[in-house]
Structure formats: structure tokens, C-alpha cells
Amino acid sequence: MGILNLTPDSFSDGGLFNDPTIAAEQANLMYQQGAQIIDLGAESTRPGSEPVSEQEELSRLLPVLEKLPKDQFLISLDTTKPLVAEAGLQAGAHIINDVSGGNHELLNLAEKHHAGFVLMHAKGSPKTMQISPTYQNVVEEVRAFFDSKKDDLIQRQLPRIWIDPGIGFGKTLEHNLVIMRNLSKFKEEEWGLFLGSSRKSWIDQLCNAPTPSDRLGGSIASALASILHGVEIIRVHDVQETTQAISVAKELALFKSMP
């Protein structure tokens, strides 16, 4: 999954793709580089970010969505707003990526439009989530969160569901590392695994890489490790480099099997 932020304030690429034509060109480039899904985000969820109105989010999203082909790659909407999700699905999007943890209105819309759904765990809102997050056992608590959703999810007529443990969303460095070391504990027949660790600040904390664009090595390492744990979708900024790393890892038999 290639990340395409249509925002002025996203932590890594905010402001680069505000123009719909440039954004559409970037989406097509990521597809050519190996992305099978393009994730459109029109509201930043970086730590400390402020929410935007529905109309503002739609004004950023729809002009780009209208320019994208709907039959070459899957299009995901990174949104928490039902109105935005409805408009995006009607305009041809295929997946809802819900960082709010399984909003019932969003699930209903996904079911109505026969769309895939990503359900992410977060502790707190983007504005406050990184203010001293605490857990007794982060793996058990995040897993319990998804288990509490399972009965509802399996009753819905959705083509595919993925769960995302939410790296950096209400977690310290150690929480993030423990989750990534234990991703296989989240595996279940009812859902696929999804991970978004690309360019995030946990890499800076480990490797002194304050600029997001300097975190390529750590991003690729986490992507390869996540595949070994059974992750189906990797959400990345650096599509070409990650695709190359996966291709080489396959040839070196690092992965026993991959789709």
C-alpha cells in the first residue's frame, strides 16, 4: 500500500501533493513502482494534529479521486468521517482505512458498498495519544480490543477485513517494538494483518534519524520483519525501495511463501 497524503501538515509529505494533478501522478507512479493499493489521506493523524471539517477533507479528496483510474489498483480512504467515506466510496474507492477503531457507521458503509475495511487500534485521539500512553501488557490489551470487535466483524458481509495494531498511535517506543516482535499473535482466520510503521518516529528514537526521509532503512527492516510474521498489507511511503527489498528477500528465500 502506497501512502498519498493530500494534506498540508502530514508528518512526512505534508504539502507535497496538494495539487490534484500532481497527486494523481504520484498515485500512478507508486502503482508502477509496485503498489497494489493507494491510500488517500485528506486529514492528518500525526501526533498533535488538529481535525479538519468534513467539507475541508472532501475538498482535498474528491478532486484527486476523480482523476484516478478505478480498475488498475485498489484505492483506500484513510478517514474517520462517515460523510467522507460515503462520498469516496460512491466515487469509486474500494477500502476504508479507519484509524478510529471500527466506527459502526463506517462499517455499515463498507458493507453497503461491498468495500474492504481496515480497523486500527489507537489509544486516544491524534491530539493527545502520545501523552504518556500506558498499558499493563500492550500485546494482550491490543489483541483484546480486536477480539471485542470479532463477533460484529464476522457477521458483516465484507470482502476482506484487516486489523492494524496502530504503531505510533498511543504507544511508546517500547510498546511499538513489543507489538512488532509479536505480530503473529494477532493472526486470526477472520482477518488479515496490516502494518503502518513507515518513516515513523520510533525509527528516530532507535537510530537518531530526525528527518522522516532519513528513515528508509528502518522502514524497510520493519516491512520485511512484518512479512515474516504474516502481515498481508504493508503501508509505506517508499514504494519502489520496499518493493525491491521484498523481491530480493523472496529470491534469497527469506520468506517461505508469499502471495
Is 67 annotated as catalytic? no
pLDDT of residue 257: 57
- Classify the phi-psi angles of 66: left when phi > 0, otherwise alpha if psi is within -120 to 50, otherwise beta: alpha
pLDDT of residue 13: 64
- As a whole number of angstroms, the distance between CA 159 and CA 130 comes to 33
Residue of 81, 171, 199, 235 with catalytic role? 235
Residue given cell 477500502 in the structure block = 95
- As a whole number of angstroms, the distance between CA 20 and CA 217 comes to 30
Q: Give the pTM.
A: 0.93
pLDDT of residue 157: 94
Identify the CATH homologous superfamily for domain 2-251.
Dihydropteroate synthase-like (3.20.20.20)
Per cent of the chain over pLDDT 70 is 96
**Higher per-residue confidence, 246 vs 18:** 246
253 pLDDT tier (thresholds 50, 70, 90): confident
10 pLDDT tier (thresholds 50, 70, 90): low
pLDDT of residue 16: 78
**Higher per-residue confidence, 224 vs 51:** 224
**Residue 73 pLDDT > 90, yes or no?**
yes
Residue of 60, 171, 200, 215 with catalytic role? 200
pLDDT tens string 164-213? 999 999 999 999 999 999 999 999 999 999 999 999 999 999 999 999 99
Is 235 annotated as catalytic? yes
**Residue 259 pLDDT > 60, yes or no?**
no
pLDDT tens string 13-32? 656 778 999 999 999 999 99
Mean pLDDT for 144-163 is 96
pLDDT of residue 209: 97
118 pLDDT tier (thresholds 50, 70, 90): very high
69 pLDDT tier (thresholds 50, 70, 90): very high
Name the pairing type of β-strands 37-41 and 74-78: parallel
Smallest Cα–Cα separation from 189: which of 217, 157, 161, 148? 161
